[in-house]
Amino acid sequence: MNPFLHKLSERPLLGDGAMGTMLFARGASSEQCLEQLVISRPGWVTEIHQAYAAAGADVIKSHTFGANRVRLAAHGLADHVRELNFKAVRLARDVREVTGRALFIAGDVGPLGRRLHPHGPLGEEEARTAFREQIAVLWEAGADFLLFETFSNLDELEIAVLAARETCDLPVVASMTYAHDGLTLSGQSPVDVIERLRAAGVDVVGINCTVGPAQTLETLQVMRQVAPEQRFSVMANAGFPERVAGRFYYPSSPEYFARHVALFLENNARLVGGCCGTTPMHIRAMREALNQALSEKGAQTANGVVVVGAIDEPADAPVSSLTADLNAEGEAPPTELLRKLRAGDFVISVEVDPPRGFNAQKQIEGARHAKLMGADAVNVADSPMARVRMGALSLCIQIQQQVGIETILHYTTRDRSLMALQSDLIGARALGVRNILALTGDPPSMGDMKESTAVYDVDSIGLVRIIDKFNQGVDFSGRELGQGGGFTIAVACDPTRPNLGEEVDRFHQKVSGGAHFTMTQPIYDPQLWLNFLALYEERYGEFPAPVLIGVLPLQGHKHASFLHNEVPGITLSEAALERMRKAGPKGREEGVKMAQELLLELKDLPHVQGVYLMPSFGRYELACQVLEVLSPAERRAVAPAVG
């Protein structure tokens, strides 16, 4: 099931509030194109997203309500659809990264702003084309679902929904606005609307804008009577506005909004939030009311506090191998990961990128889901692409303590002197993080801190030798450490490199230094691994270590093209690119299917003893769908044991 829909089935979600209201308060003009502010005033948009996230919203709408070709043409911006929509989703995703919370990004789509034939100049095909164009960019940029809101014409909304179904596989929330008489501005009743939208295949039917909470509730109650099992979205205005000194003022207080939350939930509203006139204060009050409503209905609690997405659950059970207890000889036993590799088990790891801010809730939830789906470990990247993020070691510790699953620490020599490398390793060992992937690291020139100075006292080959010395109980200079480190050492290899001989030679130096297993860059053709293996054995004899193959499920053709052409270390086959091109709007589904087919091929190849999955856009649930092709029995003893 899609992660957004899955979460809705578990509990109600809280949306954010008005964007326009907040922008006008910052000085935006009603005459300008508000959507262009993602380029001209991105800080304003980001601050508003952050304010709603801090208020407790679970959903952030991209600032793209009017970012379609038809509306943008009035401002001379018709050719900027891609730029504005992509940037808007990126701003929302950046806020999610910084907060670390498991926020959903709604790709916000509003009406086209011109009337359809026969009552206006806009033809149906022109409308469908405009919607497709915007939706395709929102999908590509990483929106989690589509929110069609503030539609007053049901025919236009149907066209938009059909355009979405033809373009992508994102869930659809379709919301219309109703006047004081309970009808849409084009005269349809709530009964008409729900029947036609359900027939069009929308996932959530919504009500938003125009009226305040009380009248919105009346419309919701009518809809609930017609379709008692339907999921609804409710985002009311803060009452009917009054114009004072050229500005609109909305009368409904945050407390008044909050009093309606439980009533909305009683009528099966699964997504609640605010529209025009609402502010972060309204959303904060709704958050408190939602928490209270969940508590009264017996929602799951942790330490007496309702778990609503901001509180991490405790680990299901402690993992004994995380603590590195000493054996009778004073040495640490093998990590659970190494024990499984030596036993011939097929090992599964899921990669997590640390957050850009202080909160790692989304990453911890991703690790928890990976464990639930059968992962044996979670590997944590170390500021990939040389961009500043939370330290990988600190996230490893949080995951091991809160989820109860082993981690594999990506550890680079880029930022650390020889002294710092060894100090960090001692600290990691003391805290129970003992699976280390030794990496050199992307240079700072690739990232967002180009003025940072790289260290590189040693590279990944040297780091392997340092860790191996730690395992022997001495540091780099030969001083005794009192006992062996008990580290499991992993190294990277890239079977997609054009100069395969150079990669094989470098890999041999790594594994000769004491590595226990290797992890590859993502591949899309098993033959690449076989070519690498054959060349290694031709030059050096028997392959020395078990392998975890990298698998990165593709999201669509543009995602595949971007990875192939712009991301170092990722090379797709022409067959994979063509298959994603043909998939069209079914790109994610096809990407998972391709990854599952690849996994079934890989598990029977020589020396392959596992896989590590790399989610895109933080979509851990989607990446873990790949594992559904394996039965529990198939993940055990499918490879020869390693001594």
CA–CA gap between residue 335 and residue 484 (Å, rounded)? 13
> Residue 166: its pLDDT value, please?
93
> Residue 302: its pLDDT value, please?
38
Angle, CA of 126, 132 and 138, to the nearest 5° = 145
For a pLDDT cut of 90, what percent of the chain falls above it? 63
Residue type, 338: L
Residue 388's CB is within 10 A of a number of other CB atoms, namely: 11
Determine the 3-state secondary structure of 245 from DSSP.
Answer: coil
Strands (E), 501-607: 517-522, 547-551
Size of the chain, expressed as the number of residues it contains: 643
Could you tell me the sign of the dihedral formed by the alpha carbons of 133, 136, 141, 144, in that order? positive
Within 8 A by CB and 6+ apart from 608, the residues are 529, 546, 547, 548, 549, 602, 639
Question: Are 549 and 606 spatial neighbours (Cβ–Cβ below 8 Å)?
Answer: no
Question: Are 407 and 378 spatial neighbours (Cβ–Cβ below 8 Å)?
Answer: yes
pTM across the whole model: 0.70
In a 13 Å sphere around the CA of 583, the CA atoms on its Cβ side amount to 24
DSSP states along 139-188 = HHHT-SEEEEEEE--HHHHHHHHHHHHHH----EEEEE-B-TTSSBTTS-
Question: Are 473 and 425 spatial neighbours (Cβ–Cβ below 8 Å)?
Answer: no
Of 122, 171, 200, 205, nearest to 3 (Cα)?
Answer: 171
Residues of the chain short of pLDDT 70, as ranges, are 239-251, 298-331, 385-386, 444-451, 453, 568-569, 631-643
CA–CA gap between residue 118 and residue 588 (Å, rounded)? 37
- Beta strand 104-109 with 145-151 is parallel
In the structure encoding, which two tokens stand for residue 88, read together? Answer: 């808007």
Can you give the three-state secondary structure of 300-364, one letter per residue? Answer: CEECCEECCCCCCCCCCCCCHHHHCCCCCCCCCCCCHHHHHHHCCCCEEEEEECCCCCCCCHHHH
Question: Are 38 and 87 spatial neighbours (Cβ–Cβ below 8 Å)?
Answer: yes
Question: Are 613 and 351 spatial neighbours (Cβ–Cβ below 8 Å)?
Answer: yes
CA–CA gap between residue 306 and residue 166 (Å, rounded)? 40
For the segment 401-438, what is each residue's pLDDT rounded down to a tens digit?
A: 999 999 999 999 988 899 999 999 999 999 999 999 99
Q: Which domains does the chain have, with CATH numbers?
A: 3-306 (3.20.20.330), 335-635 (3.20.20.220)
CA–CA gap between residue 4 and residue 60 (Å, rounded)? 12
* Strand (E) or helix (H) holding 607: none
CA–CA gap between residue 575 and residue 597 (Å, rounded)? 14
Query: Position of tokens 């640390």?
Result: 354
Question: Are 178 and 207 spatial neighbours (Cβ–Cβ below 8 Å)?
Answer: yes
Within 8 A by CB and 6+ apart from 349, the residues are 375, 376, 377, 378, 379, 408, 548, 610, 611, 612, 613
Of 551, 490, 564, 501, nearest to 531 (Cα)?
Answer: 501
> Residue 385: its pLDDT value, please?
66
- Per-state percent for the chain, helix, strand, coil, to nearest 5: 45, 15, 40
Helices (H), 56-152: 69-73, 81-99, 124-141
Give whole-number Cα distances, 362 to 55, 132, 194, 359, 553, in Å. 17, 30, 34, 8, 19
Counting beta carbons within 10 angstroms of the beta carbon of residue 478, is it exposed (0 to 12), middle (13 to 18) or buried (19 or more)? exposed
CA–CA gap between residue 474 and residue 471 (Å, rounded)? 7
Give whole-number Cα distances, 97 to 13, 354, 472, 534, 627, in Å. 19, 9, 39, 41, 26
- Beta strand 204-208 with 232-236 is parallel
Angle, CA of 399, 401 and 404, to the nearest 5° = 75
Within 8 A by CB and 6+ apart from 27, the residues are none
> Residue 245: its pLDDT value, please?
45
- Beta strand 247-249 with 242-244 is antiparallel
